[in-house]
Amino acid sequence: MLYPMKLIAPLKDYIWGGTRLKEEYGKKTDLDKVSESWELACHKDGKSVIANGEAEGETLEDWLAQQGKSVLGTHVEKFPYFPLLIKLIDAKDNLSVQVHPDNDYAQRVEGEYGKTEMWYIVDCEPGASLLYGFKKKITKKEFESRIKDNTLLEVCNSVPVHKGDVFFIDSGTLHAIGKGILICEIQQNSNTTYRIYDYGRVGKDGKPRELHVKKALDVTKLEPPKAHPTLACDVDIFAGAKARLLASCEYFTTYHLTVDGKAALMCGDDSFQSFTVLDGGLEVKDAAGTKVKFKKGETCFLPAGIGRYKLEGKAEIILSKL
């Protein structure tokens, strides 16, 4: 039976995280801080668990293995793996300056796929900023020299952020989420990150956190980021919902939806859908009459082919598909 699934997210407590995901987004945990909540995850480092219905208690990964690829949709056929990883990220402090490799390099060196991703700024403190590529094109020699003498930040492109901003991070783009920012991240299903600069911090073991300079030198694009043409445009394809297309690429298509009352949507045979509630709450009702309620901080997985479904309530959501 196919039905709307509520997912329980694995949580991460990296040193830069805060407490907002616990205090405001309902993440139940004994961890002191929650840096990341992996809202949709079928990865060896974290797996979503189904919280409702006949599959309650199973990992989403195990359920998908039992059902077969049809529940992921026809678009998944080009991927030899579950393609998406969706996170909520609470940066109380700056994240490391880092980069992700492309598919070719990551498969050859790390044994998994690369990472292209997008960020939606859910909330941020006044004056918050992030690093996004370089101010100008630099040489590999200058890049390496600035890493060694701790002047890398002088050539990084610092961008002020506001709630609702969108950033598309191609693999190979240097980046760093700044302190005081809460983000919804949609990405390829990969956990490969190369740290370049980490502000001299030490990890839980009291030792400086590992840097991956040699690999970063191999994969980093030494130029300002290129504008992505499909970022943040209004669309009228969801009846009853105000929608904005945030990003569309070969790995994912993501929308921001505002529901105030009732909305009618469709999950066809082409792709599964997943949405995370950023604010408010709503009820999902599928064509078979199954109803599931979702509140702020909760995520729904809709199998491909579930057909028409309705949303009712007052909420802000991020919806992704292939």
Catalytic residues: 195
State the Cα–Cα distance between residues 304 and 64, nearest whole angstrom: 11
Burial annotation 204-235 (CB, 10 A radius, 16+ → b, else e) = eeeeebebbeebbbebbbbeebeebeebeeee
Q: Which helix (H) or strand (E) holds 244?
A: strand 239-248
Check if the beta carbon of residue 137 is closer than 8 Å to that of residue 226: no
Check if the beta carbon of residue 177 is closer than 8 Å to that of residue 197: no
Task: State the pairing for strand pair 42-43/239-248.
Answer: unpaired
Q: Which residue is listed with tokens 């190979």?
A: 172
- Size of the chain, expressed as the number of residues it contains: 322
Check if the beta carbon of residue 84 is closer than 8 Å to that of residue 153: no
Burial grade of 199 (CB within 10 A; 0-12, 13-18, 19 or more)? middle
State the Cα–Cα distance between residues 93 and 278, nearest whole angstrom: 21
Helix ranges restricted to H, 5-155: 20-23, 60-67, 103-109, 140-148
Q: Is 142 left (phi over 0), alpha (psi -120 to 50) or beta?
A: alpha
Dihedral of the alpha carbons of 8, 9, 12, 13, in degrees to the nearest 10: -50
